[in-house]
Structure 1
Amino acid sequence: MTVLRMDNVAIVVADLDAAVAFFTELGMELENKAQIEGVWADRTVGLDGIRSEIAMMRTPDGHSKLELTTYHAPALSGAGAENPPPNTLGLHRVMFAVDDLDDTVARLRGHGAELLGEVVRYQDTFLLCYLRGPAGVIVALAEQIG
């Protein structure tokens, strides 16, 4: 048996609309929104009394998706550091290929994004940067230049 595909990566956010706006500005498309609740959701996730809303975002090529989730119940957990550094154990970064890195960074700053370091050139191949996105998630951007 093998994996058929990676379906999506989920990010839990406090403000779903702001997160949708951030990833829309990046160039992703809102596929759908849904309310999630009920015994099946409780049993799947392992929490009681789940009431959440999700927004499924997809890349323009249709191959990758982000599931943005906000929980109305139970209350959001604030476990761990608010903005963990890039070398923290666990899932914390998602990377996107973009066609104009400087323009993308400028547009995302309007949605609260902050560069963690700076835009750098890797050999004659890529421009790269890390920035902080919704819910403190690190969003890496790469523009192929060579």
Structure 2
Amino acid sequence: MTLQRMDNVGIVVDDLKAAIAFFTELGLELEGEGRVEGTFADQCVGLDGVSCDIAMMRVPDGPGRLELAKYLSPAAGPMTPQRPPHNLVGMHRVMFTVTGIEDVVDSLRPYGGELVGEIARYGDTTKVCYVRGPGEIFVGLAEYLT
């Protein structure tokens, strides 16, 4: 058995259109949208009566993909506590390399992007920050300076 590649990262969202707009603004491209339901979906996720709208986003000129999923049934519950901190067990984030990190953060604000903490600088090599997006999604941004 050999691992071939990492195919995608999946995130459950409460507003698919808002999430698509947020990640489009970040620079990802919408690869396609569709609905997943039926026995196959039930078996994959271990739930009964699954109906889920999905959107596959891709990194331009790269192999990375992000799958956004909006559960219609069974309805997805909110993460608890409200405004969860990043250090909760099971919490996740997606990290992207960008240029002009300050401008990227500013451009995401109209799409629900909110800076968590601040843009931190690691020596002369890197700037890193977390942005909270629609539906409490955590996105990491890194700008390599060298």
Alignment of 1:20-99 (within 5 A): 20-99=20-99
The structural deviation recorded for 1:79 is 4.8
Could you state the TM-score of these two structures normalised by the residue count of structure 1?
0.94
Distance across 2 between alignment mates of 1:13 and 1:29: 17
Residue number in structure 2 paired with 1:10: 10
Out of 51-60 and 133-142, give the one that drifted further: 133-142
CA distance in 2, matches of 1:9, 1:81: 23
Unaligned runs of 5+ in 2: none
With 74-83 and 41-50 compared, the bigger mean Cα shift is at 74-83
- Work out the CA distance in 1 between the residues paired with 2:95 and 2:111: 18
TM-score when normalising by structure 2:
0.94
The Cα RMSD (Å) is 1.2
Determine the C-alpha separation between the residues in 2 that align with 1:135 and 1:38.
26
- Deviations, residues 84-110 of structure 1 (Å, cap 9, x unaligned): 212111241111000110110001011
Secondary structure at the counterpart of residue 117 of structure 1: strand
Q: Which moved more, 1:79-88 or 1:123-132?
A: 79-88
Q: How big is the shift at 1:80? A: 2.9
Q: Does 1:115 align with 2:125?
A: no
Q: How many residues align?
A: 146
CA gap of 1:21–1:139, structure 2 versus 1, over 3 A, is: same
Q: Relative to structure 2, which stretch is displaced further, 14-23 or 135-144?
A: 135-144
Q: Which amino acid aligns with 1:19?
A: A
Structure 1: where are the runs of 5+ without partners? none
Letter in 1 for 2:20: V
Question: Structure 1: which amino acid aligns with 2:70?
Answer: T
| 2:69 partner SS | strand
Which 4+ residue blocks in structure 1 deviate beyond 3 angstroms? none
1:61 Cα offset (Å): 2.3
Q: Deviations over 1:22-79 (max 9, x none)?
A: 0000000000101111111111111111111100001112311110000111111225
Match of 1:128 in 2: 128
Identity over the aligned pairs, expressed in percent? 54
- Equivalent residue number for residue 19 of structure 1: 19
AA partner of residue 75 (structure 2): A
